[in-house]
């Protein structure tokens, strides 16, 4: 695929360059609570603007239902991008309508605009090829060149990700090039021992990557809500903890296969439990109890890994040469249940391993818990995209950038 360096060498001055970014940042009202994805695409936008391009940045945010919804406006993201660039960023209040056309037409060389949330148009996410293609045709009228740099969306067959590159000369942005290069280090000629840490709520979200990584990893550590389905598969009581009962047979199969392959599966030996889920708004003290993983009371819910598990996981990561981590160990948004996630992050900071934090909640946790991002090998901007890449799937947004 063509790189942005090759594109810049050809010259972009005076050209309208459509940058498909991932500005899907978490918001508290109109306040951005984690601007990591905006900071990640800033270098590509800045390079293009410095080269004299008229840069049109587009993205989705959240899951609006194909119609404008003020709660999902990209206006806060556009303002933050302007702050990071140190330059005014124009904002169009629609995607392909009068405002978008006028805003793009008004750009001078080196200026930047952001158009409104792509998912305000039903064509962006449509499963109908013709409907999706019609929206891509409208987007193509806003640009002369396409740059794909929204890694967090490349696993989606959406109009701006998959269909639009076919309609314009295209190249991969710097962020996508970096992300793909990092993921190749996790799949090709991996430095060993190779440890994988998986957490988060649902085991069903991770089965594909577990299946694929059983052939590659030396050890797999499990935490978060998904751990309780693994504990259940081992025949243990999990109380009122998050449980996907229908996935227990599949998990038993993976545990058996791991044993046959010599892959070490590491599960919690103790957990923090409480009778109710914590209040994440007030963050009132939750007063959890620590119990052994085989002694969870029937009326209690597991909400984080316990202190002995934290020590165990740190020891299992200490000698690793490569680590991939996706998913928090507990309800890290509440201080009483953040220690497990913090312990894994600290173990990666302390380890000499090449460590990759696989996007989503893990990346947010690293920043929220106060860790220096530079202490990790790489923090991905795309959790779902990273997982699907590691599953060996073809990602539509990457395939569309191939010549």
> What pLDDT sits at residue 363?
87
Q: Where are the beta strands (DSSP E) in 131-208?
A: 145-148, 170-172, 194-198
**Catalytic residue of the set 15, 37, 156, 316:** 37
Q: Are 322 and 213 in contact (CB under 8 A)?
A: no
Residue 347, sorted as left (phi over 0), alpha (psi -120 to 50) or beta, turns out to be alpha
> What pLDDT sits at residue 313?
98
Q: Quick one: how far is CA 345 from the chain centroid? A: 16
Cβ density class 75-89: b for 16+ within 10 Å, e for less: ebbbbbbbebbeeeb
The 10s digit of each residue's pLDDT in 160-205 is: 999 999 999 999 999 999 999 999 999 888 999 999 999 998 888 8
Alpha carbon distances (Å) from 262 to 252, 320, 363: 15, 16, 30
The 10s digit of each residue's pLDDT in 77-131 is: 999 999 999 999 999 999 999 999 999 999 999 999 999 999 999 999 999 999 9
Q: Where are the beta strands (DSSP E) in 258-300?
A: 264-266, 270-274, 289-292
> Could you tell me which of 308, 394, 381, 330 has the C-alpha nearest to residue 197?
330
**Catalytic residue of the set 123, 330, 340, 384:** 384
**Catalytic residue of the set 152, 223, 360, 397:** 360
The average pLDDT across 306-326 equals: 97
**Catalytic residue of the set 39, 101, 185, 202:** 202
Q: Is 384 designated active site?
A: yes
Q: Is 224 designated active site?
A: no
The 10s digit of each residue's pLDDT in 228-279 is: 999 999 999 999 999 999 999 999 999 999 999 999 999 999 999 999 999 9
Q: Is 327 designated active site?
A: no
pTM of the model: 0.89
Q: What is the mean pLDDT of the chain?
A: 95
Q: What residues pair up with 325 in beta bridges, in sequence order?
A: 197, 357
Q: Are 342 and 332 in contact (CB under 8 A)?
A: yes
Alpha carbon distances (Å) from 222 to 205, 217, 368: 13, 13, 21
Count of Cβ atoms closer than 10 Å to residue 189 Cβ: 6
**Exposure on the CB side of residue 164, measured as CA atoms within 13 A:** 31
Q: Is the model's pLDDT at 62 over the cut of 90?
A: yes
**Exposure on the CB side of residue 169, measured as CA atoms within 13 A:** 14
Residue 231, sorted as left (phi over 0), alpha (psi -120 to 50) or beta, turns out to be alpha
Q: Is 370 designated active site?
A: no
């Amino acid at each position: 695929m063509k790189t942005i360096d090759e594109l810049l060498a050809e010259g972009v001055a005076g050209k309208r360059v459509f940058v498909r970014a991932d500005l899907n940042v978490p918001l508290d009202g109109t306040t951005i609570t984690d601007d990591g994805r905006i900071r990640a695409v800033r270098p590509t936008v800045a390079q293009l603007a410095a080269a004299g391009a008229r840069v049109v940045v587009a993205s989705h945010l959240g899951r609006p239902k194909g119609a404008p919804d003020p709660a999902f406006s990209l206006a806060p993201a556009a303002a933050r991008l302007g702050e990071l660039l140190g330059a005014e960023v124009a904002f169009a209040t629609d995607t392909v309508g009068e405002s978008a056309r006028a805003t793009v037409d008004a750009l001078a060389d080196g200026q930047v605009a952001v158009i409104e949330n792509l998912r305000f148009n039903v064509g962006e996410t449509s499963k109908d090829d013709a409907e999706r293609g019609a929206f891509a045709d409208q987007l193509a009228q806003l640009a002369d060149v396409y740059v794909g740099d929204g890694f967090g969306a490349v696993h989606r067959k959406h109009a701006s990700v998959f269909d639009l590159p076919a309609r314009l000369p295209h190249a991969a942005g710097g962020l996508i090039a970096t992300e793909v290069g990092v993921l190749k280090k996790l799949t090709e000629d991996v430095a060993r021992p190779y440890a994988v840490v998986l957490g988060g709520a649902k085991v069903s979200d991770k089965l594909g990557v577990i299946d694929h990584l059983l052939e590659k990893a030396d050890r797999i550590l499990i935490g978060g809500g998904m751990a309780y389905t693994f504990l259940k598969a081992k025949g243990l009581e999990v109380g009122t903890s998050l449980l996907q009962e229908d996935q227990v047979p599949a998990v038993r199969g993976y545990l058996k296969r791991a044993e046959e392959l010599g892959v070490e599966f590491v599960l919690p030996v103790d957990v923090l439990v409480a009778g109710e889920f914590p209040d994440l708004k007030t963050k009132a003290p939750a007063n959890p109890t620590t119990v052994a993983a085989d002694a969870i009371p029937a009326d209690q819910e597991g909400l984080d890994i316990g202190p002995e598990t934290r020590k165990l996981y740190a020891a299992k990561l200490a000698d690793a040469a490569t680590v991939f981590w996706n998913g928090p160990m507990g309800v890290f948004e509440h201080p009483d249940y953040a220690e497990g996630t913090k312990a894994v992050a600290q173990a990666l900071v302390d380890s000499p391993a090449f460590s990759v934090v696989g996007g989503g909640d893990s990346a947010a946790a690293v920043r929220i818990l106060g860790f220096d991002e530079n202490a990790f090998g790489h923090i991905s901007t795309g959790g779902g995209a990273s997982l699907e890449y590691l599953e060996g799937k073809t990602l539509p947004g990457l395939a569309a950038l191939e010549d």
